[in-house]
């Protein structure tokens, strides 16, 4: 008889989140040069952040905390877009970092508890990788706002594109591509970069290997019990 191991990840939350994250990361940079379409780029991010709430596990009131954190985040984010309040942009960047950190913690906890590799686990793992990139992108932008000049590059010359510039830089660093078009200019900025590079290598070497090992082990166990 084949053993059945139920997944703790149910529903389409991670699939929907992955789609929305990819839509924002890959699609919104093409909209920002056009002021009339720029609004949709911010909408796509807001929807992705909202959808992420439903992927946070309920254990330990994590989902309630995520909702409580998301509300002021979105308020400050939209106020910052129109410069209504002086500190709104900086406050939003800080809350972005905290919110992404909460998502990373929740996703890691859920993936770690998985007993078998199914599509939801793959969606969650891919979403986790993208959230890690966005998390570091928010840290880079937060540091850049606190210490102007901590990073330099052609892509940073236009303040309108800083969000996407630092997200791009984050994923380039996470994958250790190192194009060199954006570079750290201070010791603290460089420290963030090499920490993200380490996390990127750890993710590929450990998390992916662990998922493959779990898949092979589960398949072998099912074959033996047939």
pLDDT of residue 2: 36
- Find, among 82, 98, 99, 71, the residue nearest to 42 by Cα: 82
Specify if 98 maps to a domain. Answer: yes
C-alpha–C-alpha distance, residues 81 and 125, integer Å: 31
Specify if 62 maps to a domain. Answer: yes
Higher pLDDT, residue 37 or 109: 109
Specify if 162 maps to a domain. Answer: yes
Cβ(156)–Cβ(162) under 8 Å?
Answer: yes
Q: What percent of the chain has pLDDT over 90?
A: 60
Of the pLDDT bands very low, low, confident and very high (cuts 50, 70, 90), residue 61 is: confident
pLDDT of residue 195: 96
Specify if 7 maps to a domain. Answer: no
The parent domain of residue 189 ranges over 13-224
> Average pLDDT of 117-133?
93
Of the pLDDT bands very low, low, confident and very high (cuts 50, 70, 90), residue 220 is: low
Per the structure, how many domains does the chain have?
1
- Find, among 201, 195, 188, the residue nearest to 142 by Cα: 188
> Average pLDDT of 26-32?
87
Specify if 148 maps to a domain. Answer: yes
C-alpha–C-alpha distance, residues 226 and 219, integer Å: 11
pLDDT of residue 193: 96
Residue 222 has pLDDT above 80, yes or no: no
**DSSP-assigned states of every residue in 134-178:** HHHHHHHHHHHHHSTTSEEEGGGSSGGGHHHHHHHHHHHHHTT--
Specify if 2 maps to a domain. Answer: no
Q: pLDDT of 178-202, one tens digit each?
A: 888 999 999 999 999 999 999 999 9
- CATH assignment at residue 194: 1.10.287.70
Give the helix ranges, DSSP H, for the chain: 13-22, 35-53, 62-81, 88-112, 119-146, 162-174, 187-202, 208-224
């Amino acid at each position: 008889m084949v053993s059945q191991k139920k997944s703790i990840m149910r529903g389409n939350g991670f699939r929907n989140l992955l789609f929305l994250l990819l839509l924002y990361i890959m699609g919104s940079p093409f909209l920002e040069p056009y002021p009339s379409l720029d609004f949709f780029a911010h909408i796509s991010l807001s929807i992705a952040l909202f959808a992420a709430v439903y992927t946070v596990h309920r254990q330990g009131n994590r989902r309630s905390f995520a909702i409580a954190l998301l509300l002021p985040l979105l308020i400050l984010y939209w106020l910052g877009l129109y410069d209504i309040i002086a500190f709104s942009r900086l406050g939003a960047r800080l809350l972005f970092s905290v919110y992404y950190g909460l998502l990373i913690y929740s996703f890691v906890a859920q993936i770690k508890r998985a007993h078998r590799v199914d599509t939801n686990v793959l969606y969650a793992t891919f979403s986790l990788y993208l959230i890690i990139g966005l998390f570091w992108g928010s840290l880079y932008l937060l540091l850049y706002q606190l210490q102007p000049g901590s990073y330099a590059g052609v892509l940073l010359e236009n303040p309108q594109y800083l969000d996407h510039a630092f997200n791009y830089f984050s994923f380039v660093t996470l994958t250790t591509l190192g194009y060199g078009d954006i570079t750290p200019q201070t010791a603290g900025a460089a420290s963030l970069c090499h920490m993200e590079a380490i996390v990127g290598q750890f993710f590929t070497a450990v998390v992916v290997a662990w998922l493959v090992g779990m898949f092979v082990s589960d398949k072998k166990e099912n074959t033996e019990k047939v």
